[in-house]
Structure 1
Amino acid sequence: MMAPTSKAFIIRPARPDDCGEIARLIQEVEEYQGFGDKETATEEDLRQDAFGDDPYFRALVAEVPGTADAPGGEAKLVGHAMYYFCYSPVVRRVMYLENIYVEPLYRGRGIGTAIMREVAKIGVKHRCNKMQWVCLNWNDVAVKFYQKHGGKDVTVEEKWHLFRMDQQELAAFARE
């Protein structure tokens, strides 16, 4: 799948050699969200987890042609989306959008919409009945973006709470 969305950028599946740039973009997301002090996936983690024998996620990237900020006229990755498939006994096939990000300098050009649309197309191709994701409650720009594209905030509407166990709690619970 190579989905040119305009002459200014393309959306394409990530390749193993993109993992360094994806790691950089993830770090930018974490810093933007105020989690810059947390350890994030490294280039090698991403390569293993996306392209190893048992992939945990898939990714798309947004690429712009060579520019002044891309040395040597090489294309530059300016955005990405990470997703995976899961299952619900109620709705069956579900696509989970784990991460979507476009560098601030490249926002407002339709790149985020194009990435999200390509993820949605993959979900439709795989007969998913739902795509879901989370968004920080203070990120009004993202909330408006998702709502503009048909996303519904089910936090209040369906009265869901998101729970988790981090590694320490998971390991402690598994030992009991």
Structure 2
Amino acid sequence: MFELTLRPATPADVSVLLDLIMALAEYEKLSHAVTGTVEALKEHLFGANPDIEAIVAEYAGQAAGFALFFHNYSTFLAKPGIYLEDLFVLPQFRRLGIGKAVLSYLAQLAVSRNCGRFEWSVLDWNESAIAFYKRMGASILESTRICRLTEEPLTELASNNSSLKVRPATPEDTPTLFHLLQGKAEFDQKLDTLTGTPEALQRHLFGEPSYIEAILAESEGEVVGFATFFPNYSTFLTRQGLYVDDLFILPSHRRQGLGKAMLGHLAQLAVKRDCGRLEWLVAVWNDQAIAFYKRMGASVLPDWRICRVADDKLTQLAAQLGDNNQNLGEK
């Protein structure tokens, strides 16, 4: 029986990784969407400030697949997570348990790094993949959709200057930021899911390593809104993006342009950092928010769903890999 090996990618793997990315794009009939280069991928994986990580799956000594991932963040949990951007196994190596092994490997990594959850996305028509992920313990978030700003709509939003005050959060803002976060949890009727602490949030905002950033909106000297965000990544573009985890404005200060001002500020940051896209989630029932985001130039992706493994399901998935010869590695 051939042995499956899962290992962290090294700089020597970059050309193989790009070949696998091209194979993934061809499989999805999206070869035209791959605009990245070996040099960019190597810089983002192994440069001075790496954005992403990757693992290589080898079967019988051959590169059989890969996974590319990065840390995301949950403001409510005040914990980092792992987001799987891409997982691909070459067709001739399928039905050998490689996909399951990769998911278990990444779940182990999430547990070892004290992450709150492990997430990825799936197309809603891919019923076999959805069934497989559910068997692995994943929940499919049916009630949310991904919003995306890219290319001209992103630069156009970034070019809209607002007179409203939006600024980066500082450590001194942590109590105010957490109070607003409690307000969002109460407004969303999700106070029971707010399990993080101000101390953990401050550590992850301003400590080392930092996982997330925050901006605040002010009106007449009072902080009345916030947004938290972190870098994400596009494998096909080999470019970083920005992902908005939470955006909230006090109900008493809505319809004053603050939401547009914060999105504009985030779009400016994305353009300044040479990001390929700005993304966030929206609830499917929130017609008002969807209409607002579309006016800002965002596309609402109708067929993508978020998969999530958390709590006991995460530790159970991590345990499925067992104590094999895999080296999880550390950042």
CA distance in 2, matches of 1:141, 1:42: 31
1:88 is displaced (CA, Å) by 1.9
SS in 1 for 2:196: coil
SS in 1 for 2:285: coil
1:50 is displaced (CA, Å) by 0.5
SS in 2 for 1:135: strand
**Residue of structure 1 in register with 2:171 after alignment:** 16
Give the alignment partner of residue 233 of structure 2, picking from 87, 91, 106: 87
**Residue of structure 1 in register with 2:283 after alignment:** 136
Residue type at the aligned position of 1:160: W
1:41 is displaced (CA, Å) by 2.7
**Residue of structure 2 in register with 1:68 after alignment:** none
**Residue of structure 2 in register with 1:51 after alignment:** 206
User: In the comparison of the two structures, how many residue pairs are matched?
Assistant: 159
Matched, 1:146 2:290: no
More strand by share: 2
The list of structure 1 runs, each at least 4 consecutive aligned residues, that deviate by more than 6 angstroms after superposition, is none
Q: Is the 8 A contact 2:185 2:194 kept in 1?
A: no
Q: Return the index of the structure with the highest Cα Rg.
A: 2
1:168 is displaced (CA, Å) by 2.4
1:11 is displaced (CA, Å) by 0.6
Q: Is the 8 A contact 1:23 1:41 kept in 2?
A: no
| Coordinate RMSD, CA, aligned | 1.6
Moved more, 36-45 or 12-21: 36-45
1:167 is displaced (CA, Å) by 2.9
**Residue of structure 2 in register with 1:97 after alignment:** 244
**Residue of structure 1 in register with 2:315 after alignment:** 171
Residue type at the aligned position of 2:173: D
1:30 is displaced (CA, Å) by 1.7
Q: Which has the higher contact order (CA 8 A, sep 6+)?
A: 2
CA distance in 2, matches of 1:175, 1:149: 44
Question: What is the identity percentage for the equivalent residue pairs of Structure 1 and Structure 2?
Answer: 30
What residue ranges of structure 2 are gaps of 5+ in the alignment? 1-160, 321-331
1:141 is displaced (CA, Å) by 2.2
CA distance in 2, matches of 1:126, 1:77: 26
| Residues 11-70 of structure 1, C-alpha deviations (whole Å, 9 max, x = no match) | 1000011111111111222222221222243211210110011110111001223xxxxx
1:97 is displaced (CA, Å) by 0.9
Q: Is the 8 A contact 1:82 1:97 kept in 2?
A: yes
CA distance in 1, matches of 2:180, 2:287: 20
